[in-house]
Amino acid sequence: MDGVHDLGGMEGFGRLPLEENEPAFHYVWEARVMGMRLLMGGWRKWNIDAGRHSVELLPPKDYLSLTYYEKWLASLVNQSVKAGLITREEVARGRPEEGAVKASPPLSADAFLAFIPKGRPSARQITAEPAFRVGDQVHTARHMHSGHTRLPRYLRDCVGEVVRHHGPHVFPDVSATLQGEAPEHLYSVRFSATDVWGTRASSKDSVTADLWESYLAAER
Amino acid sequence: MPHDHEQPHTLLPSEPALRVRAIETLLVDKGLVDPAAIDSVVDAFSNRIGPKNGARVVARAWSDPSYRQWLLRDATAAIADLGFSGLQGEHMVAVENTNGVHNVVVCTLCSCYPWPTLGVPPVWYKSPEYRARVVRDPRGVLAEFGVTLHDDVEVHVWDSTAEIRYLVIPQRPVGSEGLSEEALAALVTRDSMIGTGLAAAPGGA
């Protein structure tokens, strides 16, 4: 999706919002949003890829003007309504509808704290051999689809070199649709800065991204 | 009267705070989240999971050559060995800064960041400014952090587009010979493990 979230290389942005001794959270509500978002994931109505896509689907002007945790809250509500966990009317009224069945049990503190050190690995086993090896030259796709994808716009139709092979991982473009995991081989591909940005970049510099096999073709 | 000298103020909560309260109340009333579980997430990411963890990894790598080799070969296992693993650090890669190469990490598409070693990302890391600019003009962005690299140094920018999370091993500072692992860890800043900073010099110089 050619969305506003795909920011790499966009021009017109100013200085970084740097802050000395920045706290983990600036406001208590930010931390509450993080907690709610992580815990609501426990209902397994969506996955990390669908979660990222729901942020990308916020209106562009909201994406650029809301703070990070406001975006998380907005996308959490959108996802929860879409998944049928809550209704639009409940969001508007701020309380459950008459006769709404109470879900149970929610993820407990202990269960969540036990989940944190395990996480949710995305590596998978597949029988297909990797199409590329470290050192191969590959050419990235020029045209992409309008759903969730992890090939950034600034790296489309570029030639790079495979510098690492990570093995098969869940493929986000499919996973975000909740239609399965469709794992594919994943590679770190290095692009020279001058190839991507032209001669104003330093010939010493590079950018490396982790790209799935179907984003790539052999460069001859 | 003590109140005479107070600044004019309002006690109304901010709009985001009210919205969050409203949604939290709804989710709790529906039985979808346990407020005590939210408390425990907040506590974990406010107090336990943060860049002090990553600093211990780097200090160990600086102190123990065989650990450094392990970290470069299999960062996920080497970092888990110090007790840091899991959510948003399931698959780790460590990249080492040297005299010839300086690594910098970004997530241009969202805000991917290695939580077990660095905690939650700072505002600038998630900002459109950093995400847009660092892939295109890494040296200009580094200069804003006060980091100036020689023209001969290669800048390697890592765009975290998958579930691989990157930890930069900064260069060990000059004058840190003989320091304990604990003293070394105190020199390892958050930014030095993202690549937007350097490790601090011993003695606070």
Pairing of strands B91-96, B164-169: parallel
Among A63, A69, A4, A7, which Cα is nearest to A37's? A69
Query: In this complex, is the C-beta atom of A2 within 8 Å of any C-beta atom belonging to chain B?
Result: no
Per-residue pLDDT tens over the stretch A153-209:
999 999 999 999 999 999 999 999 999 999 999 999 999 999 999 999 999 999 999
**Residue range B28-49: average pLDDT?**
96
Residues of chain A with CATH 2.30.30.50: 137-218
Longest dimension (CA), chain A: 66
Structure tokens given for B23? 């949604």
Given the residues B112, B127, B160, B180, select the one marked as catalytic: B112
B137 contacts on A by Cβ (under 8 Å): 201
Residue with tokens 């691989």: B164
Strand segments, DSSP code E, in chain B are 91-96, 101-106, 154-159, 164-169
Which 3 state secondary structure label does DSSP give B181? Answer: helix
Per-residue pLDDT tens over the stretch B70-122:
999 999 999 999 999 999 999 999 999 999 999 999 999 999 999 999 999 99
Note if B192 is an active site residue. no
Domain parsing of chain B, residue ranges: 13-47, 50-204
Measure the N-to-C terminal CA separation of chain A; round to a whole number of Å. 28
Q: Which CATH architecture has domain B50-204?
A: Alpha-Beta Complex (3.90)
On the question of pLDDT at B4 being above 70, the answer is no
Residues of chain A with CATH 1.10.472.20: 28-115
Which residues are CB-neighbours of A129 under 8 A, at least 6 positions away?
A: none
Can you list the residues of chain A whose pLDDT is less than 50?
A: none
Which CATH entry fits the domain spanning A137-218: 3.20.20.70, 3.30.70.890, 2.30.30.50, 3.30.70.360?
2.30.30.50
A 87-116 near B (Cβ less than 8 A): 90-91, 94-96, 100, 102-109, 111-113, 115-116
Q: Looking at residue A100, what is its pLDDT?
A: 86
Instruction: Work out the mean pLDDT of chain B and round it to a whole number.
Output: 95
Note if B176 is an active site residue. no
**Residue range B10-22: average pLDDT?**
91
Q: What is the DSSP letter of B160?
A: -
A150 contacts on B by Cβ (under 8 Å): 109, 161-162
C-alpha R_g of chain B? 20
**Residue range B137-146: average pLDDT?**
98
- Superfamily of chain region A28-115: Nitrile hydratase, beta subunit (1.10.472.20)
